[in-house]
Each structure stands twice: as C-alpha cells, then as structure tokens.
Structure 1
Amino acid sequence: MRAAITAVLGIFALNGVVFGSWAPRVPALAAQIGAQEGSLGLSLLGASIGMIASALLTGALCARFGARVMVVISAIGGCAVLPVLGMTRTPLQLGLVLFMLGVTVGSLDVAMNIAAVTAIRQSGRAMMPVFHAAFSIGGLVGSLGAAGAASLGLNPLRHLAIAAVFGAVMAVVFARRIPVEDLTARTTDPGPKKSVVTRPVLWLLGFIALCSSVAEGASVDWSAFFGVHQRGIGEAAAALIYAGFSVCMAIARLLGERVENRWGSQRMLIGGSTIGALGLLVAVLVPVPAFTYIGFALAGLGLAYGFPIALEMAGAAGRRADGGGGERELGFVTTIAYSGFLLGPPMIGGIAHVTSLPVALGVAALIAWAMAPLTLLASRARRRERQTHQQAVESVTS
C-alpha cells in the first residue's frame, strides 16, 4: 500500500510541476505574443476549455478501463505538449496550444484523483489534502524552476523543454504503481440509481470546487502579472509570489489529514474560504510589495482545502455497496470545477480591462468566500440524500 500511495503522490507532484512551470512564465509568454490583459485572458481560456472537454469523459473512461491507463496516457501527453508553448507567436496560437495542454492536464487531474480515492479507500486514511499537497509541492518546484529560468534569461521554449523531460521521467517512474479498483468485483447496490445531473449535492460540491478553482486560478494566472505591473516587482522576483502561494498551500494540505480528523470537512471548507478571501484582499488593498507576497501566501493557506475536500466528498457520494464507485461523480464535480478555470481567466482579464487588476482580484476574493455558505447547503443536501437512500434500501429489503 505504501508504494501505491507514493505513486499517487508522485503523479500529483508531476501535475503540479507542469502547472508551476508554465504559469509563472505568463509575463514572458505575453511579451512573446504581444498580448495585453484582455487578449491574454482569452488565450488562457484555451486551457480551461480543454480541461472541461476532457474531465467528464475521463471519469467514464476510468470507470471502464481503470485510472492507471488514463494516468499514463495523459501524463506523457502533457509533457509532450508543454514545450510547444514556447513556440507560439500570437494569442491565437497560445490559446490553441493551451487547449491541447488543458486536455491532457484535465484528463490527468481526473484520473489521478480517482486513483487517490482508491488509495484512500484501501488505506482507510483521509489523505486527499495530502495528495493535493504533492501537487502544490510540484507547483513549487515548477515555479522555482521558472524563476531560475527567468533569472538566467532562458526563453520559455528552452525552459519548458527541460521541464517536460523532467516530467516524463516522473511519469515513467510512478505510473505503473498507481492503485486501481478491481473492476471485476463490482456488486449491485439495492438502492435507487440516479443520474449525476439530478443530484443536488453534486451540483453544490461542484460549485464549491468551482469557487475554489476561480480563486486559485486567479492566483496562479495573475499573481506574477500583478506583481510586475501593479507593484513594480521584477519578473524573477514576481515568480516567487506564486512560489509562496504554493508553499503555504502545500503546508496546509500536508496538515490536512490531521485537520480533517480533528475538525471535519465542513469546518475546513468554511474556515479556508474565509482565510483565502482575506489573503486576496490584503494583496490588492495594501499597495506595498511585501504585502503582495503575504496576501497571496494567506490565499494559498485558505484555498488549500476547497478543491480536494470537494472531490473527496464527491467520491464518497458515489461509493457503492461493494466499496468502489465514484468515478462519474468525481468527473462530474471536476467538470463543474473546471468551469471556474473557463470563466476565471476571461472574467478576471475582462474586469481588469474595464476597471483594474486589483478590482478584478477583489472579485475573486468574494468568490472564494462564497464557498462557506455553499458548504452548509451541501452538507444539508447530503444528509437528505442519505436519508432517502436508506429509506429506499429498507423498503427494497422488506
């Protein structure tokens, strides 16, 4: 079991390396293609569209073939696409390449989270935040590499090619040990079957993950750009804003198993949303470079639990009587969450174009706080669903 957990941790880290490598180079890519806030936001839209396009389908494919197959295909594909970003010369080209990267990263994200749910069930540990901590650590490694590449004057093509080779090696090392569910051991649940689309709890969990993805995406996509253009920070130093965000998110997630065992998922989500919103507000309201780092660091702490806990709860909502299941539920919630990555970049870019980037990030802070009331609604919906399901099982049994 330890080897399986290590493999899942490694794949999460790989996904973080991919994100952390290209996101801090957004200022360099923007200069390379001659884009401003509005056109850059539209280019970033490509990644979100690709992620949404692949999320729901990947859940169904994992249910049929297992998560390991999809992890291998998507991880290698993402590493192959990454260096192509450095070859783009127009906003349209950047958007198309980001679409391809989004397809591979989105597929990997769903597959690795399904593998994580399997590992959690087999080990009996509440490790979803810890797995996502590996993503944050990978993001830190990628962002530090980006900062180093920028300080050395490496162009995005050369830097991202190096990152792709590193990621491909990680994929080969870890993928074969990814845990998979026994697809031949499924039993029939006597309870009623519902489409994922008709279950309110999944919509609410999806909206929680969506709010988290908008706020996190705003931090990932715009933190370095904000530091350069709003606070006068150099590109290499601005890349460290995202590094600080990733460090704090990783720390919070590494402590996630203890926090969840002590406080429960509901308190984690409510408290985290409040801290995340406060951090973004500090970054945009205090016009001092030091508080830019502090604000995004607080945002990393607060936003650490939104996405992983929502996915953990989605997997639990789809668990069958035989102990398996949850692939389609997790894919559905992930698809809604990725709508945040779809809406976030053009929304933040559009608001920044009409008003200013600080105002746009202030809107992201309000969206982060919205996770708190949504968590309360999701908890109530889950309790009602369990009661209805139990009554149906008792009726069939009797």
Structure 2
Amino acid sequence: MSTEVIVSSDSTLPRLRRAATPALFLLLGVVYASWAARLPAIRDALVLDAATLGTVLLGGGIGAVASFPVAAWLVGHYGARRAALMSGLAVLLVLPILAVLPGWGWLMAGMVAYGAATSCFDVSINALGAEQERVIGRSIMSMLHAWFCMGAFIGALLGSAAAGLGLSPLLHLSLVVLVLIVPLGLAYHALPCDAPDVELGKKHFALPHGALIWLGMIAFLGAISEGSLTNWISLYLRDHLYASEAVAPLGYAGFAGAMLVARLVGDRLKERFGAKRLVTHGSALAMFGLGIAILAGNVPVAVLGFVLTGLGVAAIFPCIFSASGKEGPTALAGVATLGYSGSLMGPPMMGYVVHGFGLQAGLIFLGLTSFAMIIAASQTRLLR
C-alpha cells in the first residue's frame, strides 16, 4: 500500500479525509449490529432451533475463511481504497437479502456471501488503519475500532427501535443500506488514490507461522467470543430471561457501548501498560463479566455482565491488528484469517453447545476461550 494513503500529520489532512477511515469502521459496526438485532426475528420466522441456527451461521465462517485470499488479492491488485469500496458494496447488497431467504439452506448460502463480503471489507479497512498507524508513528488502531463500536452501538439501538415499531427485518435492513451507501461513497472519494501493494501482489496469502501463530491464536479465540456474543446476546436475553424483541438488542448495545468506551482510551492504556498486559487483564475481566451474565436472574444484571465483558474484550483486536500490521500486510491478512474465521465460526459453535447443553453452557464455553487467551498472550513476544 502506498504511503500516499495517509500523510504524516493528521493536522494537514482535509476534514473529510480525516473522517474517511473512521467512517468505514463505523459502517461495518452498524452492519454487524443491524444483522444481530434482527436475528431473533429471522430465526423465529424460519422456525430454527439452536443447532440449525448454528449450522446456518457456519455459512458465515465458511465464507470468511474462503475469502481471505480474495481479500489479500483485492488489496494487492487494487489498493485498500478500491478494495474497501468493492467489498463494501457487496456487504450492502447482501444484508437485506438475508431477511427474505425462504429456508435454512438458502439462509446458510446467504451467510456464506455475507461472511465473504464482510471479511474482505474488514481486511481492507484494517489495512488502511495499519498503514496510517505506521506512517504517523503512533497507535490509533484502538480509536479506529472504537468507531466500529460506535457503529455497533448505534446499529443495536436502531434495531431495538425498529423492532419496537414493528418494522419487518427486510424494511429495517433496506433502510440501513440506503443510509450507509452515502458514507461509503463519501469515504471512497475522500481518500486519495493508493497504489497496489507490492508485497501482496507477489504473495496473496499465507497462514501465520512462527511468532505470528500466537497472534493468530489470540485473534481466533477473541473473535470466537466477540462474534458469538454479537449474535447470541439478544438470543440469550430473549430465550433465557424472556426479554421482549425490542429489549433484547439492548444487551448488545451495552456490550458494544462498553467496547466503545474502552477503545477510546485503549491507545493511551497500551502506551502506558503495554499490549500484553492489556490483553491478559482484559481477558480476565471478560471472564468475570460472563460469570455475572451466567448467574443473572434478570435482564439488567445480565446486561451489566455483558458490559463488563465488552470492556474486557475491547483491547484484543486493536492490539492484535496493530502487532500483525507491523509485520507486513501479508502477516495482517494471515492473522485476520484466523481472527475473522473465529468471529464467524464462533456463533455456530455456540449454537451447537447451546443446543446440547443450554444457553448458560454456551456462555461458559466463551469464558473458557477468554482463559485460553490469557495463556496464549503470555506466550507471544509480538505483543509489546
């Protein structure tokens, strides 16, 4: 990626250009939360049990894993700016279609497309962020991911409002697309043209190896937790604590809002305490929050548990993407493969656990992934 994408001083950038990359992160957050907010309604319309829903969500993981070589190829041959536009348009095309697919098989196929599109978009915007971080010489990845959380928080609140107003998932998601296509186009035109990436042009994809394995493992485990919670918090509140369809998305809003707050200060915390301590202590806090949600007897206490979990997991992706981005864009794409395959494979894994052992057992499973992250973080030398 050319260093022309971002110049070395934020103060010299026009206002729209400064806002472009954060806007893309915000867009992805709105998409994730909008889909998660209407998942209970789509699940009920198709009469899916937990195991079948888990199988459907597995399609997202398949699409994610299959798409990472494509994502690296797009960035390598067209530059991250054009790759973000192409994959962003694909995301907005697929999103409302998910609301009208007639059966679980069709919905699983739609999830393959959704997983592929969101993963390509995610790699593209994180490549933009990693390059900006490298050029300006300071940590900003946590702040960029805070914009993702802001989008997720907004999307969850809008999803709650849409459900409360009785809007169908199709109408709701179509309105989301109409709104989001505007910032996608503005961001594309605001960013300067970037050259194709020479490294990715020669080598489109490689799985993490050596010291990068531990980063990939943390990304995978963290993404299982974050991705599962994105899809299952609303279902947990609705099915286990009997929240209404309008109230259930507020659990994810609390989770995303807590991540937003944590990521606003994450870069400063990273500079003061180091990435390794941030990931290990955050994982421990996530375990504690999940424990509260598991034992909660009512919705407010469960939401408090998910808020603490959001505070705990907030540092994981910014720290991992920052560390892998310093090793080059191919390393970033490789680590992202494990990370975002986890985020989209986590929900089906959660579904199978829930089907066999119940919703509380599903949260225990996520607590174990947080414990495994503590162990993995202690083994890597790339988290500084």
Normalising by structure 2, report the TM-score.
Answer: 0.91
Q: Provide the rounded CA distance (Å) in 1 between the counterparts of 2:95 and 2:65.
A: 18
Is structure 2 residue 346 aligned with structure 1 residue 344? yes
CA drift of 1:52 comes to: 1.7
CA drift of 1:247 comes to: 0.3
Q: Provide the rounded CA distance (Å) in 2 between the counterparts of 1:198 and 1:41.
A: 27
Q: Secondary structure at the match of 1:66?
A: helix
Name the CA shift for 1:245/1:56 in 2 (closer, same or farther; >3 Å). same
CA drift of 1:175 comes to: 1.8
CA drift of 1:364 comes to: 0.6
Is structure 2 residue 39 aligned with structure 1 residue 26? yes
Q: Which residue of 2 aligns with 1:144?
A: 157
Q: Which residue of 2 aligns with 1:164?
A: 177
Q: Which residue of 1 aligns with 2:279?
A: 269
Q: Provide the rounded CA distance (Å) in 2 between the counterparts of 1:216 and 1:226.
A: 14
Q: Provide the rounded CA distance (Å) in 2 between the counterparts of 1:368 and 1:346.
A: 18
Is structure 2 residue 120 aligned with structure 1 residue 107? yes
Letter in 2 for 1:80: L
Residues 58, 110 of structure 1: 8 Å contact kept:
yes
Percent identity between the aligned chains? 32
Q: Secondary structure at the match of 2:70?
A: helix
Letter in 1 for 2:346: G
Q: Which residue of 2 aligns with 1:128?
A: 141
Q: Which residue of 2 aligns with 1:323?
A: none
For 1:175-219, what per-residue CA distance to the aligned partner results, in whole angstroms no more than 9, with x for missing partners?
Answer: 233367655899xxxxxx9x9547322111111011111111121
Q: Provide the rounded CA distance (Å) in 2 between the counterparts of 1:248 and 1:184.
A: 35
Q: Provide the rounded CA distance (Å) in 2 between the counterparts of 1:215 and 1:185.
A: 34
CA drift of 1:47 comes to: 1.6
What's the Cα RMSD here? 2.0
Q: Which residue of 2 aligns with 1:189?
A: none
Q: Provide the rounded CA distance (Å) in 1 between the counterparts of 2:344 and 2:169.
A: 24
Pairs aligned (count): 367
Residues 32, 89 of structure 1: 8 Å contact kept:
no
Q: Which residue of 2 aligns with 1:64?
A: 77
Letter in 1 for 2:377: T
CA drift of 1:282 comes to: 1.0
Is structure 2 residue 219 aligned with structure 1 residue 206? no
* Structure 2 counterpart of 1:80, from 85, 93, 104: 93
* Structure 1 segment 178-197 matched on structure 2, within 5 A: 178=191, 196-197=206-207
Residues 21, 160 of structure 1: 8 Å contact kept:
yes
Residues 50, 351 of structure 2: 8 Å contact kept:
yes
Q: Provide the rounded CA distance (Å) in 2 between the counterparts of 1:247 and 1:272.
A: 16
Q: Provide the rounded CA distance (Å) in 2 between the counterparts of 1:67 and 1:16.
A: 19
Letter in 1 for 2:191: I
* Structure 1 segment 1-398 matched on structure 2, within 5 A: 1=10, 2=13, 3=15, 4-178=17-191, 196-197=206-207, 199-317=209-327, 326-379=328-381
Q: Which residue of 2 aligns with 1:320?
A: none
Q: Provide the rounded CA distance (Å) in 2 between the counterparts of 1:342 and 1:248.
A: 21
Residues 34, 90 of structure 1: 8 Å contact kept:
no
Residues 55, 108 of structure 2: 8 Å contact kept:
yes
CA drift of 1:95 comes to: 1.1
Name the CA shift for 1:198/1:76 in 2 (closer, same or farther; >3 Å). closer
Structure 2, unpaired ranges of 5+: 1-9
Letter in 1 for 2:174: A
CA drift of 1:113 comes to: 0.2
Residues 216, 335 of structure 2: 8 Å contact kept:
yes
Letter in 2 for 1:340: G
| Structure whose CA Rg is larger | 1
Name the CA shift for 1:216/1:382 in 2 (closer, same or farther; >3 Å). closer
Letter in 2 for 1:63: G
